[in-house]
Amino acid sequence: MSRATGRRGDSENGVQTAGGGAVQLFAFGDAGFFGSTGDRQLNAPVVGISATPSGRGYWLTAAGGGVFAFGDAPFIGSLVGPPTG
């Protein structure tokens, strides 16, 4: 998988690539690199990325409900676990 990311109207861009669930992120232009899941064994592949409003962090989301916070993105929780109710 590869996906171009960034906010419209600025030069912040990055590309994420995945294999076996882990993701390596590459920053281009003035985009900052704040970390990736490349060194972790994930239960499900990463399927999305969202930048923080400041542009100094991002959240990666996995197909299984996992959320990974980097930079100034706070970890608020994830959707991993058994269904409730």
More confident residue, 55 or 21: 55
More confident residue, 17 or 32: 32
pLDDT digits (tens, 9 = 90+) for 26-79: 777 777 888 878 777 888 888 888 889 998 999 988 888 999 999 999 999 888
Query: Is 44 contained in some domain?
Result: yes
Query: Is 56 contained in some domain?
Result: yes
Which residues constitute the domain of residue 37?
Answer: 2-71
User: In the structure, what pLDDT confidence band is assigned to residue 23 with cuts at 50, 70 and 90?
Assistant: low
Task: Put the strands of the sheet holding 57-62 in their side by side order.
Answer: 46-51, 57-62, 67-71
> What's the pLDDT at 73?
95
Q: How many domains does the chain have?
A: 1
Question: Under a CB-based contact definition with an 8 Å cutoff, are residues 64 and 52 in contact?
Answer: no
Q: Residue 11: is its pLDDT beyond 60?
A: no
